[in-house]
């Protein structure tokens, strides 16, 4: 592979302006991450009560379980941002991948300092998404349970549908049947449906004095039976470990429980994350020659000004080496091979709008990667497929459909990063959420919508005016309508709006992207190779 010859002038005024603008975006990202981790206004009292009960904060709990000096890849830290009155930071639940005795596990941990660990709709969605990641990547799940169960005022958004609370239990049972360990530590309440998280686990540890499991808590028992009973007598660790058998182990303290959990993890015979006998092609990794922080200066502060995706790739891949595929044809899409943390990947990146030749090139390249069993990485920055009479006559719908079909049918692991715009059908052809990438991350400059705010102003305003059927409208009314449409699309395409609703697996700093992808690829390497597709490459 050749080292990319950069054309970026890091000393130019434009580079400096872009860099400062992007650093401001990163500062905002970090500030909002702190909100999700430390909590918003009014959470201090909840944290004080939590600590006064001798409990440990949720991310400290995960640190006490995972191997020292190993990474934890947290998912969707900003879920819930801008929702529920900003009273549910992180959705009240922490999910991610951590390493225990060299083996990766998905963690699903309730944050009891947020509404007592009660589960709002976004928390259920986050819980289920973590289980999906576990299934696709062949990972066991560790549940750190400290939850008051479903948030009852929103029960119709939590209880009945297939991906609601019941869907999480279905997935948990299926994961166990697949041989993926389901391990629970009960650190607080497990009430009503929440009781099934430990009850469905392969092994359960309860912490004496704080862990409780009951289908109906003391208030329900009093209402139903007239029986007055203390929580520990109804569903405490001693009862469930020595009498009911719901729990397998009882620990006197949280640290003791995590020591026991690590002992259990040693017995599960899962593959280690550093297993180099995996099916993916691997070589000793090397850092990029070009500084990843230069990405800040490459991405235009004005999102209407394009940037070269090759320059982004060069600051993300091993040794800044990239072997381009068909570099002289279909140049609105960049395709080629590179390594990330030693793993070979096929990269498909946008240089703006997707033309017919670019769609055909991407389709050809996807088929090559499928035949050669090379994972695919999509870097999205596109306004979609080209429109207009000439494009339609040239078959853009047909050629775009070929690309979409190739993405849908690829069996190799797929990963997507939104590095800019993700608009219209371009989102689909570049492996958006609906096309099941194993992981989808976004950068704080990204935008996702059916179209940009500028395009929406023209399209939707014209449609609405046509609907008025000749009624008189003043220029002021038209301008107000344009402003309304622009505001709607700017708000709904904002990356924080997207990540709050789990349209991605997390907003990340561009500088951290290489490390996040390296861990994701390592997870795929430890699995058995997926069954290949047809294997025939059609020249497009």
pLDDT, tens digit (0-9, with 9 covering 90-100), for 328-346 = 999 999 999 999 999 999 9
What is the longest distance spanned by two Cα atoms in the chain? 79
pLDDT value for 470: 58
- The yes-or-no verdict on residue 452 having pLDDT over 80 is no
Segments in 249-388 forming alpha helices (H): 254-266, 295-298, 309-314, 356-372
Q: Answer yes or no: is pLDDT of 466 > 80.
A: no
Give this prediction's pTM. 0.92
Q: Is the pLDDT of residue 283 over 80?
A: yes
Average pLDDT over residues 184-188: 95
DSSP sequence for 481-533: HHHHHHHHHHHHTSHHHHHHTTSSS-B--GGGHHHHHHHHHHHHHTSPPPPP-
Q: What DSSP character marks residue 242? A: I
Taking residue 210's Cβ as centre, other Cβ atoms within 10 Å add up to 21
Q: Which of 385, 379, 422 is nearest to 401 (CA)?
A: 385
Q: How confident is the model at residue 83 (pLDDT cuts 50, 70, 90)?
A: very high
Torsion sign, CA atoms 532, 417, 121, 217: positive
Distances (CA, A) of 90 to 39, 259, 318, 499, 520: 9, 27, 33, 10, 22
Give tens-digit pLDDT for 31-40. 999 999 987 6
Least-confidence region, from 140-154, 183-197, 464-478: 464-478
- Please give the pLDDT value at position 436: 96
Phi, psi torsion values for 347, nearest 5 degrees: -110, 135
In this structure, are residues 110 and 533 in contact, taking their beta carbons and an 8 Å threshold?
Answer: no
What average pLDDT does this structure show over 93-101?
97
Flag whether pLDDT at 407 surpasses 80: yes
**292: alpha, beta or left? (left if phi > 0; alpha if psi -120 to 50):** alpha
Residue ranges of alpha helices (H) inside 189-336 are: 196-199, 218-225, 231-235, 237-239, 254-266, 295-298, 309-314
| Residue 540 confidence class, pLDDT cut points 50, 70, 90 | low
Pairing of the two strands 93-100 and 73-75: antiparallel
Q: CA 67 to CA 64: how far, in whole Å?
A: 8
Residue-wise pLDDT tens digits, 243-272 = 999 999 999 999 999 999 999 999 997 888
Residues 6+ apart with CB under 8 A from 277: none
How many angstroms separate the first and last alpha carbons of the chain? 24
Work out the percent of the chain whose per-residue pLDDT is above 70: 95
Average pLDDT over residues 426-454: 93
Stated as kind and residue range, the H or E segment containing 408 is helix 396-409
Distance CA 391, CA 396 (A): 6
Position 477 pLDDT exceeds 80:
no
Residue of 163 and 87 predicted with greater confidence: 87
Question: Is the pLDDT at 15 greater than 70, yes or no?
Answer: yes
Rounded to an integer, the average pLDDT of 409-415 is 96
What is the predicted pLDDT for the residue at 216? 80
Nearest Cα residue to 367 out of 539, 187, 151, 150: 539
Mean predicted confidence (pLDDT) in 64-69: 96
Q: Each residue of 110-162: pLDDT tens digit?
A: 999 998 888 899 999 999 999 999 999 999 999 999 987 767 667 667 777 77
């Amino acid at each position: 592979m050749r080292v990319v010859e950069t054309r970026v002038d890091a000393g130019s005024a434009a580079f400096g302006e872009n860099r400062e603008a992007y650093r401001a975006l990163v500062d905002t990202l970090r500030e909002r991450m702190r909100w999700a981790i430390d909590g918003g206004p009014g959470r201090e009292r909840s944290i004080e009560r939590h600590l006064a009960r001798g409990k440990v904060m949720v991310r400290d709990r995960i640190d006490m379980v995972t191997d020292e000096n190993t990474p934890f890849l947290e998912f969707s830290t900003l879920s819930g941002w801008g929702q529920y009155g900003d009273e549910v930071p992180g959705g009240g639940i922490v999910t991610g991948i951590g390493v225990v005795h060299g083996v990766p596990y998905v963690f699903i941990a309730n944050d009891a300092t947020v509404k007592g660990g009660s589960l709002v709709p976004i928390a259920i969605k986050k819980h289920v998404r973590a289980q999906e990641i576990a299934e696709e990547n062949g990972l066991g799940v560790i549940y750190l349970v400290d939850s008051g169960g479903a948030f009852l005022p929103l029960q119709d958004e939590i209880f009945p549908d297939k991906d609601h609370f019941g869907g999480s239990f279905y997935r948990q049972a299926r994961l166990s049947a697949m041989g993926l360990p389901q391990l629970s530590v009960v650190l607080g309440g497990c009430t009503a449906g929440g009781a099934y998280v430990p009850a469905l686990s392969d092994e359960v540890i309860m912490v004496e004095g704080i862990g409780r499991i009951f289908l109906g808590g003391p208030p329900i028992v009093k209402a139903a039976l007239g029986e007055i009973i203390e929580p520990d007598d109804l569903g405490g660790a001693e009862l469930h470990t020595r009498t009911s058998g719901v729990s397998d182990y009882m620990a006197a303290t949280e640290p003791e429980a995590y020591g026991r959990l690590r002992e259990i993890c040693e017995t599960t015979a899962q593959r280690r994350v550093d297993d180099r006998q995996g099916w993916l092609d691997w070589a000793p990794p090397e850092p990029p020659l070009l500084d990843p922080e230069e990405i800040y200066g490459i991405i235009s502060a004005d999102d209407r000004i394009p940037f070269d995706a090759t320059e982004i790739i060069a600051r993300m891949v091993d040794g800044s080496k990239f072997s381009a595929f068909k570099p002289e044809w279909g140049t609105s899409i960049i395709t080629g091979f590179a390594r990330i943390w030693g793993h070979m990947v096929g990269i498909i990146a946008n240089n703006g709008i997707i033309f017919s030749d670019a769609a055909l090139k991407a389709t050809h390249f996807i088929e090559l990667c499928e035949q050669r069993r090379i994972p695919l990485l999509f870097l999205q920055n596109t306004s979609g497929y080209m429109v207009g009479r000439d494009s339609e006559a040239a078959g853009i719908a047909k050629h775009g459909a070929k690309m979409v079909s190739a993405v849908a049918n690829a069996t190799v692991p797929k990963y997507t990063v939104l590095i800019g715009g993700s608009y219209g059908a371009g989102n689909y052809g570049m492996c958006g959420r609906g096309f099941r990438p194993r992981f989808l991350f976004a950068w704080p400059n990204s935008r996702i919508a059916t179209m940009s705010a500028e395009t929406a102003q023209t399209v939707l305003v014209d449609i609405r005016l046509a609907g008025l059927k000749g009624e008189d409208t003043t220029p002021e009314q038209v301008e107000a309508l344009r402003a309304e449409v622009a505001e709607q699309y700017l708000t709904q395409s904002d990356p924080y709006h997207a990540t709050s609703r789990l349209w991605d697996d997390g907003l990340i700093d561009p500088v951290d992207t290489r490390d996040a992808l390296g861990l994701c690829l390592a997870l795929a390497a430890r699995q058995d190779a997926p069954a290949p597709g047809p294997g025939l490459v059609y020249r497009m």
